[in-house]
Amino acid sequence: MKDFVLGQLSYQLTGLLFKAHKDLGRYRNEKQYSDYFEEILKQENISYQREFRFKDLEKSETKDRCIVDFLIDNKIVLEFKNKDFLRIDDYYQVKRYLVMLNLPLGLLINFRQPRLIPKEF
């Protein structure tokens, strides 16, 4: 049942991401997409934390060094990008967040693409 709920939430989020991309187009900045997406999350009553900060415990750091764009329902990491091409570092960033937070799912979204293709981890 847990996987079903997570899959259902992921499906819902993907639809909302498509809506944001359709409504705003592909040439806005990350903050504009984040602001708009946050309003959508509020309208849909989806639990989230924006710019969730946490420590990199592997490096024994005392400051919050890592910042997730959106943490949805304490289960899903959303990382927004707006660049011509995603780089391997972008994928590693999301994977690192998932490992450090011990979460089951992450979505990497590049809004610059003509067609939105969320990358799922």
**Residue 7's pLDDT band (cuts 50, 70, 90):** confident
Q: Which residue has the higher pLDDT, 26 or 7?
A: 26
Domain positions in the chain: 2-120
- Is residue 63 scored above 70 in pLDDT? no
pLDDT at 102: 94
- Is residue 1 scored above 70 in pLDDT? no
Mean pLDDT to the nearest integer, 53-74 = 79
- Is residue 86 scored above 90 in pLDDT? yes
Name the CA radius of gyration of the chain, rounded. 14
C-alpha distances in Å from residue 101, one per residue of 16, 35, 66, 91, 112: 24, 24, 11, 16, 27
- Please state which of the four CATH numbers 3.30.420, 3.60.21, 3.40.1350, 3.50.4 is assigned to the domain occupying 2-120: 3.40.1350
C-alpha 121/C-alpha 73 separation (Å) is 17
